[in-house]
A and B are shown apart, each in its own frame.
Chain A
Amino acid sequence: DGGITQSPKYLFRKEGQNVTLSCEQNLNHDAMYWYRQDPGQGLRLIYYSQIVNDFQKGDIAEGYSVSREKKESFPLTVTSAQKNPTAFYLCASSGAGGQPQHFGDGTRLSIL
């Protein structure tokens, strides 16, 4: 079954720690995206990648980092520089040219 998998579903972070959220897709999509959703708000773009070994900052990239070493994988690291990391994080993938995105089921990150 083709799809996009995010893990873990829930993640807890201590103050000052970096954490990495996993995102894997087997849809053979070129583009991948990371979004953040806060309560009552829409999806805000953190980073996106249109091809392997290349990525661009979105609207709220500060305090986050990504890598795109493989077509299938686009991990997101929430660094200690992100002062308000508690949120629901969604990963998506799509074909080229702004085609409809397929989303994972998200990771909810909380601060201990």
Chain B
Amino acid sequence: DQQVKQNSPSLSVQEGRISILNCDYTNSMFDYFLWYKKYPAEGPTFLISISSIKDKNEDGRFTVFLNKSAKHLSLHIVPSQPGDSAVYFCAASNTNAGKSTFGDGTTLTVKP
């Protein structure tokens, strides 16, 4: 049973527009959520996170929203740039357990 799901394998947007990447989870014990970005042949890099006590966290062009009742989080990138083209992974953890569960990723393509 997959506890973290990213239902859209791919997303294509025009440069300058908003990119919205979605993630759903099933385990109500998760209390910390993260987004990672991955380029081909490299390891993922941490992008932004949110604690379950918040519903929004913003860092520059990146904002993560958390809807606990729906067990849903989303990553907004505004404005999107061609350099944002990468695979984005959603991850969830319970801070007491110390490990994260990853989704399958969404490949974002930003067209110039």
**Interface residues in chain A, defined as those with a beta carbon under 8 Å from any beta carbon in chain B:** 4, 6, 31, 33, 35, 40-45, 48, 50, 58, 90, 92, 96-98, 100-106
The verdict on A48 contacting B99 (CB below 8 Å), with A43-B89, A98-B93 known, is yes
Instruction: Name B89's closest neighbour in chain A (CB-CB).
Output: A42
Number of A-B contacts (CB under 8 A): 60
B59 at the interface (CB under 8 A from A): no
A84 CB → nearest B CB, Å: 18
**B-chain residues with CB within 8 Å of residue A104 when the two chains form the complex:** 43
* A42–B104 CB distance below 8 A: yes
* B42–A101 CB distance below 8 A: no
Sort A-B residue pairs by CB-CB distance and give the 8 closest, nearest first: A103-B43, A98-B93, A100-B46, A42-B104, A43-B102, A98-B95, A42-B102, A97-B95
* A106–B99 CB distance below 8 A: no
Which chain B residues numbered 55 to 112 have a C-beta less than 8 Å away from chain A? Answer: 89, 93-105
* B89–A98 CB distance below 8 A: no
CA separation between A33 and B95, bound complex, in Å? 15
